[in-house]
């Protein structure tokens, strides 16, 4: 350890200092792990204060309110930082981890606040600025919030981490997020608890994660207690996980593993996403990188050695990406008199940290769609996406490679869509059915087929025929999309929907409402005389002139029982054909049946 360059600001002459110094002896910190969500590697720990109940306080908030009222918030906080850092240093491999420390916002406006004390505390433990991340919240509104936020941004520029804690629990989280520019966003447990059974909550969670990633933040899901909560957090793109599922806070740092067994087990058992696309792996570049503490002489030398490169990824001491350093940022210096000498002169304060730009970052296990979404949301001049594995730099996907992938995805999407309606087409429907049958989930399949469509087309023309198809596609989506697992357009006048296994009467009621809506709306496509008669005259398939009722739709409903792995697509196709024929002959135009082993 190194000796601190200055002493902590302990006011020994304060009348309450002796009392609070005694109280400090009874306070301790429990550590709770924060792990990478994909493979479970330990990223850091949060220091959670313990022992406040013995002092007569119901919770940590009451403790800090009392400290604040005593006028000793800043010096007590410094003493607690010392305790937390000492506990952190007992972790195995702590040099590769981060300590998340809860900072009472009111410290930032303390009249006895001093700069440089945290650096001295870290230095005394052999730590650097990147080892600590200050968690702030919106619990206490500050009268001079702008000044406090500016101080936090200065901390960030110096290499300290900033995390916005309990996001979503207050009323000004977006403002604090915008003004403090944190690197981490910790989502409040409110949005995590039982999210798997609350679609609205899951939607909010997904939007928060997307917003954070757009602002170049990494997301920590707090309070994850069950495997189902874990799966949803992983699905929506959270980067890290913290909660009882992994481990409860513990006073003994030696109990914290470098990798969570439960997350590792879940990751190994996951069969839903599969491995990262091999196409992506083949496109990953590994350009040279810069350390955040590199001097500017090294930067200029690296650009000189690699004249073809216009930027380099910037990493911290543990190979975690911070951003990129672009050549364009240095042009004002490189091409001006004495500019190079100014950059090399350390006294000017021109460090790598000054020139770092944010860059979209994603875990290599996230999947192609996540990479493309991140890039699509990035600024227009983004060079690409930095890829990580277990939080450490893995490589880079350039903008050119990502544009190629976007083009390939668009082509694949076009193949999967019906060109007229834009709904998922036959290929997508077939893949869905094969996967659903393999999974053994119960469901009801609905097949829709227009009645008297050929005479309608012959009499009204193909343009109106296309309009009728588009009308039904719109109604199908409107009535069933939020309820069905998939709605699709098989082709021509045939449509499909996969519905949840529920009471058959409920399925029939919804289908009848959809059918009636179509039959009523499509009447507007006819001339008044045809509508009044209730039929049109056209030739049948043998060329004989005859009367045909107005356009309608028949529906075949096929109930698939649970554990239906033994059923085949051919059997479903045969059963559907039989039901569709019966539906066209029935009075209600809706016929249902169940598959039997």
Residue 472, domain member (yes or no): yes
Residue 473, domain member (yes or no): yes
For the chain, the maximum distance between any two Cα atoms, rounded to a whole number of angstroms, is 110
Residue 302, domain member (yes or no): yes
CB atoms within 10 A of CB 463: 9
For residues 449 and 589, state if they share a domain: yes
Q: Mean of the pLDDT values across residues 364-390?
A: 76
Last residue of a domain, which of 230, 249, 274?
A: 274
For residues 390 and 448, state if they share a domain: no
Q: What is the DSSP letter of 366?
A: S
Cα dihedral: 206, 212, 217, 223 (round 10): -50
pLDDT (tens digit, 9 = 90+) per residue, 500-528? 877 888 899 999 999 999 999 999 999 99
pLDDT (tens digit, 9 = 90+) per residue, 538-557? 888 778 899 999 999 999 99
Contact 367, 273 (CB under 8 A): yes
Q: At residue 410, what are phi and psi to the nearest 5 degrees?
A: -65, -40
Closest among 509, 403, 494 to 450, alpha carbons compared: 494
For residues 51 and 158, state if they share a domain: yes
For residues 95 and 181, state if they share a domain: yes
Mode of pairing for the β-strands spanning 443-451 and 392-398: unpaired
* Sequence-ordered list of residues with C-beta below 8 angstroms from that of 277, at least 6 positions apart, any chain: 367, 368
Q: What is the pLDDT of residue 595?
A: 67
State the chain's mean pLDDT as an integer.
Answer: 85
Residue 284's pLDDT band (boundaries 50, 70, 90)? confident
Q: Tell me: pLDDT of 3 over 60.
A: no
Choose from 21-30, 204-213, 244-253 the range with maximum mean pLDDT.
244-253
3-state helix, strand, coil in the chain (%, to 5): 45, 20, 30
Number of domains in the chain: 3
Q: Tell me: pLDDT of 60 over 50.
A: yes
For residues 387 and 462, state if they share a domain: no
Q: At residue 157, what are phi and psi to the nearest 5 degrees?
A: -65, -25
Separation between Cα atoms, residue 139 and residue 410, nearest integer Å: 45
Q: Tell me: pLDDT of 170 over 60.
A: no
Q: Mean of the pLDDT values across residues 169-178?
A: 66
Q: Mean of the pLDDT values across residues 17-37?
A: 91
Residue 5, domain member (yes or no): no
Q: Mean of the pLDDT values across residues 241-258?
A: 95
Q: Tell me: pLDDT of 5 over 70.
A: no
Contact 28, 79 (CB under 8 A): no
Residue 144, domain member (yes or no): yes
Question: What CATH code is carried by the domain that includes residue 565?
Answer: 3.30.70.270
Residue 8, domain member (yes or no): no
Closest among 217, 185, 205, 227 to 100, alpha carbons compared: 185
Closest among 227, 250, 214 to 40, alpha carbons compared: 227
SS3 535: strand
Which residue segment(s) compose the domain that 470 sits in? 421-594
Separation between Cα atoms, residue 519 and residue 27, nearest integer Å: 73
Q: Tell me: pLDDT of 153 over 80.
A: no
Cα 69-5-92 angle, rounded to 5 deg: 85
pLDDT (tens digit, 9 = 90+) per residue, 187-232? 989 999 988 878 888 888 988 888 888 777 889 999 999 998 998 8
Q: Would you say how long the chain is, in residues?
A: 597
Contact 146, 36 (CB under 8 A): no
pLDDT (tens digit, 9 = 90+) per residue, 314-354? 998 888 899 999 988 888 787 777 777 877 777 776 788 88
Last residue of a domain, which of 383, 407, 431?
A: 407
Sign of CA dihedral 489, 493, 494, 497: positive
pLDDT (tens digit, 9 = 90+) per residue, 560-580? 887 655 567 777 888 898 999
For residues 288 and 266, state if they share a domain: no
Task: Give the predicted TM-score (pTM) of the model.
Answer: 0.55
For residues 268 and 401, state if they share a domain: no
For residues 537 and 399, state if they share a domain: no
Separation between Cα atoms, residue 486 and residue 455, nearest integer Å: 30
User: Among all chains, which residue has been given the structure tokens 């330990």?
Assistant: 42
Q: What is the pLDDT of residue 21?
A: 85
Please name every residue paired with 554 in a beta bridge, in sequence order, or none if there are none.
449
Q: What is the pLDDT of residue 124?
A: 93
Contact 434, 492 (CB under 8 A): no
Q: What is the pLDDT of residue 455?
A: 92
For residues 393 and 511, state if they share a domain: no
Continuous segment of H or E residues that includes residue 99: strand 98-102
User: Among all chains, which residue has been given the structure tokens 């604090």?
Assistant: 176
Last residue of a domain, which of 254, 274, 294?
A: 274
Question: What CATH code is carried by the domain that includes residue 138?
Answer: 3.20.20.450
For residues 539 and 440, state if they share a domain: yes
Question: What CATH code is carried by the domain that includes residue 335?
Answer: 3.10.580.10
For residues 240 and 344, state if they share a domain: no
Separation between Cα atoms, residue 314 and residue 74, nearest integer Å: 34
Q: Tell me: pLDDT of 487 over 70.
A: yes
Residue 257's pLDDT band (boundaries 50, 70, 90)? very high
Contact 37, 28 (CB under 8 A): no
User: Among all chains, which residue has been given the structure tokens 């588009």?
Assistant: 470
Q: Mean of the pLDDT values across residues 81-104?
A: 94
Contact 423, 430 (CB under 8 A): no
Closest among 497, 502, 442, 505 to 472, alpha carbons compared: 497
Residue 17, domain member (yes or no): no
Q: What is the pLDDT of residue 4?
A: 46
Separation between Cα atoms, residue 256 and residue 260, nearest integer Å: 9
pLDDT (tens digit, 9 = 90+) per residue, 114-149? 778 899 999 999 999 889 999 988 666 655 667 667
Q: Name the region of 256 (left: φ>0; alpha: ψ -120 to 50; beta: rest).
A: beta
Q: What is the pLDDT of residue 16?
A: 82
* Sequence-ordered list of residues with C-beta below 8 angstroms from that of 86, at least 6 positions apart, any chain: 125
Contact 160, 118 (CB under 8 A): yes
* Sequence-ordered list of residues with C-beta below 8 angstroms from that of 321, at least 6 positions apart, any chain: 313, 314, 315, 359, 361, 386, 388, 393
Separation between Cα atoms, residue 319 and residue 322, nearest integer Å: 9
Q: State percent of the chain over pLDDT 90.
A: 41
Q: Tell me: pLDDT of 171 over 70.
A: no
For residues 164 and 92, state if they share a domain: yes
Q: What is the pLDDT of residue 597?
A: 47
* Sequence-ordered list of residues with C-beta below 8 angstroms from that of 63, at least 6 positions apart, any chain: 49, 52, 55, 57
Residue 414, domain member (yes or no): no
């Amino acid at each position: 350890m190194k000796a601190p360059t200055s002493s902590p600001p302990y006011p020994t002459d304060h009348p309450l200092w002796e009392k609070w110094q005694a109280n400090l002896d009874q306070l301790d910190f429990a550590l709770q792990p924060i792990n990478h969500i994909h493979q479970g590697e330990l990223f850091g720990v949060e220091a959670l204060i313990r022992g406040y109940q013995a002092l007569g306080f119901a919770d940590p908030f009451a403790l800090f309110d009392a400290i604040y009222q005593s006028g000793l918030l800043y010096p007590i906080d410094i003493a607690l930082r010392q305790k937390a850092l000492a506990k952190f240093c007992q972790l195995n491999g702590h040099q590769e981890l981060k300590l998340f420390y809860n900072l009472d916002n009111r410290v930032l406006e303390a009249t006895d606040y001093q700069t440089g004390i945290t650096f001295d505390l870290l230095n005394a433990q052999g730590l650097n600025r990147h080892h600590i991340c200050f968690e702030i919240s919106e619990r206490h509104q500050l009268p001079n919030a702008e000044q406090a936020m500016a101080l936090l941004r200065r901390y960030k520029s110096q290499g300290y981490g900033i995390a916005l804690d309990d996001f979503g629990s207050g009323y000004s989280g977006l403002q604090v997020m915008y003004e403090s520019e944190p690197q981490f966003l910790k989502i409040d447990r409110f949005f995590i608890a039982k999210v798997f059974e609350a679609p609205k909550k899951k939607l909010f969670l997904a939007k928060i994660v997307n917003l954070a990633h757009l602002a170049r933040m990494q997301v920590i899901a707090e309070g994850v207690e069950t495997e189902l909560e874990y799966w949803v957090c992983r699905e929506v793109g959270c980067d890290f996980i913290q909660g009882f599922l992994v481990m409860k806070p513990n006073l003994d740092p030696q109990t914290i593993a470098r990798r969570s067994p439960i997350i590792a087990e879940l990751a190994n058992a996951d069969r839903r996403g599969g491995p990262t696309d091999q196409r992506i792996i083949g496109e990953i570049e590994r350009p040279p990188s810069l350390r955040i503490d590199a001097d500017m002489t090294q930067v200029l030398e690296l650009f000189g050695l690699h004249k073809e490169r216009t930027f380099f990824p910037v990493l911290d001491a543990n190979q975690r990406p911070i951003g990129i350093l672009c050549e364009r940022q240095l042009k004002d210096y490189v091409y001006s008199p004495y500019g190079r000498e100014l950059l090399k002169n350390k006294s000017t304060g021109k460090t790598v940290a000054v020139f770092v730009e944010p860059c979209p970052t994603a875990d290599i296990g996230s999947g192609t769609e996540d990479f493309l979404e991140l890039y699509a949301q990035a600024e227009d001049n983004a060079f690409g996406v930095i890829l990580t594995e277990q939080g450490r730099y893995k490589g880079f996907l350039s903008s050119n490679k990502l544009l190629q992938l976007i083009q390939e995805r668009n082509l694949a999407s076009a193949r999967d869509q019906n060109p007229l309606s834009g709904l998922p087409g036959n290929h997508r429907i077939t893949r869905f059915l094969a996967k659903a049958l393999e999974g053994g989930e119960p469901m009801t399949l609905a097949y829709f087929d227009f009645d008297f469509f050929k005479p309608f087309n012959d009499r009204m023309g193909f343009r109106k025929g296309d309009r009728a198809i588009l009308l039904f596609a719109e109604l199908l989506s409107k009535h069933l999309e939020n309820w069905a697992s998939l709605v699709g357009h098989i082709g021509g006048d045939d449509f499909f929907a996969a519905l949840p296994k529920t009471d058959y009467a409920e399925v029939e009621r919804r289908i009848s409402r959809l059918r009636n809506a179509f039959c009523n709306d499509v009447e507007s496509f006819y001339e008044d005389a045809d509508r009044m008669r209730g039929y049109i005259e056209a030739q049948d398939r043998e060329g004989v002139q005859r009367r045909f009722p107005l356009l309608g739709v028949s529906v075949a409903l096929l109930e698939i029982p649970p554990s239906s792995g033994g059923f085949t697509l051919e059997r479903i196709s045969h059963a559907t054909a039989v039901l569709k024929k019966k539906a066209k002959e029935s009075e209600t135009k809706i016929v249902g049946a169940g598959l039997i082993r």
